[in-house]
Chain A
Amino acid sequence: MLKLEGVSKTYKVGAFARQDLAAVRDVSFELRPGEVVSLIGESGSGKSTIGRMILRLTSTTSGTITFGGKDIATLRRGALRDYYREAQGVFQDPFSTYNPVFKADRVLTMIRQSYFPDVGDADWRTRVREALAAVSLNPDLVLDKYPHQLSGGQLQRLLIARALLLDIKLLVADEVISMLDASTRIDVLNLLADLKERGLAVLFITHDLSLGNYLADQTVILRRGSIVERGATAEVFGDPTHPYTRTLLSSVPRLGERWTDTELEHGPCRYHQLHPDGTDPAGPALAAVGDDHFVACFALGEDRKCGQP
């Protein structure tokens, strides 16, 4: 349904924009209906940029993003509005997602103005109540309130309710739960699981490995803007192949275990084992190491070569 092909984003930086900063490099993956893909990466790995590009809040430098077979970069006015009817996003910071000058339920009113101008008042109120019930919010407690009067969890769920009003097919959830405390967190996660049951595709952007693991069918690990490993969640978490993924997984704190800085032995580069002449830039970016498991070259930038087979 949603397909990213060789998507890159380059920012011009420095005086007179002379330098290029690649935020996202040649990223390709696919999202099918009813599937949750978690996009995992450290700060600055470009995961939010990918989410913004999918929602067309940021333009792509190269590559194409297609939704239902249509290139989203070509959408204009009405077509773009129709795209947002099916694809929505929920952002990291619920407090800055609301305009502080207005009441919080204005985000719902905006949906009505844009997409349902013909729906009657009573009908609309029923729809709002249904959407709020779906995210376990009490309408009396959240409607007609200013954003600063609501908690982060309420605001976050109100945003999801807003997306539900639209009968969406794709939800980009950018760090939706990193701002929430543990008890609210699980509520939102379960809600996303419910939505998935209903056939919604979710792109779950996070830096938290355990949360990514909880929901996802597919996992994409990003490092400095490029994908290092990708595949079915069970494969990636069960048999991490790329040195970066292994380091990432070994650095997750565990209860009852002191963290030690052990050097992991990575062995030869799996990518170059499969593609011996693989420095060819036209070659595949990722090598298939399993049924549904792909890995990039083991090289971690300039400082560390991949130590070919």
Chain B
Amino acid sequence: MSEVDGSAPEPAAVPGVATVHGTGVRREALYFALRNRKLVGGLAVVVAFLLAAIVGPWFVTEDPLTYVGPPAAGPSGSYWLGTTTFGQDVWAQFLYGLRATFFVGSVAALIAGVIGMVVGFTAGYRGGLVDEVLNMITNVVLVLPVLAVLMIIAAYLEVRSIEVQAVIIGLFSWPWVARAVRAQTLSLRSREFVDLARLSGLPVRRIIFREIAPNMASYLFMVFILLFGGSVLFAATLDFIGLGPTDGISLGLMLNHAKQWSAMNLGLWWWFIPPGLGITVIVGSLYIMNVGLDEVFNPKLREM
């Protein structure tokens, strides 16, 4: 027993090295996050839109669907983005639509993320028959033609709110999360630190959330961003083809209305450009953020 006082090279005994490592992975990630232009830029755009969605509606009319101004007027001082064929304020619709978009995106991402993670972790960790059954369910949902199913649901539900839309989207977009989480769990489960946790008498739930999940935290974080962007796009698609909410307004519904009343043919560009651009910019920024996060979490991708 010769190394009582650590005569072996001791990394932390070197001043300087200790401070870099000792502060932890989290602070290192934050350091690279703040230096990453893709991440910071994308985040700034998303936060700006989010603020507009939260605060904006307080400064415009209470109901964006009321007829307030002259019909089909272009952008002006009183109506910043002009009005629709019926004299509705496009700017007010845009702000309320943003709010709906963020709501649908986050609720659907939350539902899909939670279902996907629970299914993926359970299947991956338990293995055997549980895995077979859960994997089968996942695959069935994965190959469901969601659009067709939603058309049927839309036919049955007479009144559809934004909340219902968010829940439906969430219930159909979890399978890829479950598959990815399952695959990662399978590989992490066989690592010896999981065995050690079992030898420490930890319950399964704790092993999954305290030992396995932290190893894929960056991935889980990105899953939520991807789900959010995907849900926003999917909601816009549904709205545009007329399967969206029957009350309220969203960016997709604005596009749907603009199409229905031939805004394109009439040259009312202020009616369809803002919602289309809004969706594109939000989802685009989210994906750019995702690339940035990838670089933050994966040292191999960092630009030197």
Residues on A close to B: CB < 8 A?
52, 55, 57, 77, 80-81, 84-85, 88-89, 91-93, 96-102, 107, 110-111, 113-115, 136, 138, 141, 144-146, 148-149, 151, 153-154, 159, 183-184, 187, 190-191
Contacts and interface: CB of A to CB of B under 8 A. Distances in A.
9 contacts: A89-B195, A91-B192, A97-B192, A110-B202, A114-B200, A136-B1, A136-B4, A145-B12, A151-B8
Nearest to B11: A149
A-B pairs with lowest CB-CB distance, top 8: A81-B201, A136-B1, A114-B201, A110-B200, A97-B192, A99-B193, A141-B6, A101-B214
B3 interface: yes
Interface string B101-119: 0000000000000000000
B17 to A, nearest CB: 8
Interface in B207-223: 211, 214-215, 217
Interface centre among B11, B191, B200 (most CB of A within 10 A): B200
B201 A80 contact: yes
A99 B193 CA distance: 6
B10 interface: yes
Given A96-B191, A96-B192, A55 B199 contact: yes
A149 B215 contact: no
What range describes how many residues of B lie at the interface? 20 to 34
B25 to A, nearest CB: 7
A110 B198 CA distance: 10
Contacts of A89: 195, 199
B234 to A, nearest CB: 33
Contacts of A144: 22
B3 A187 contact: yes
Contacts of B214: 99, 101-102
A151 B9 CA distance: 8
Contacts of B192: 91-93, 96-97
Contacts of B202: 110, 113-114
A57 B215 contact: no
Contacts of B8: 151, 153-154
A145 B197 CA distance: 19
A108 to B, nearest CB: 10
Given A99-B211, A191-B1, A107 B25 contact: no
Contacts of A113: 202
Nearest to B12: A149
Contacts of A153: 3, 8
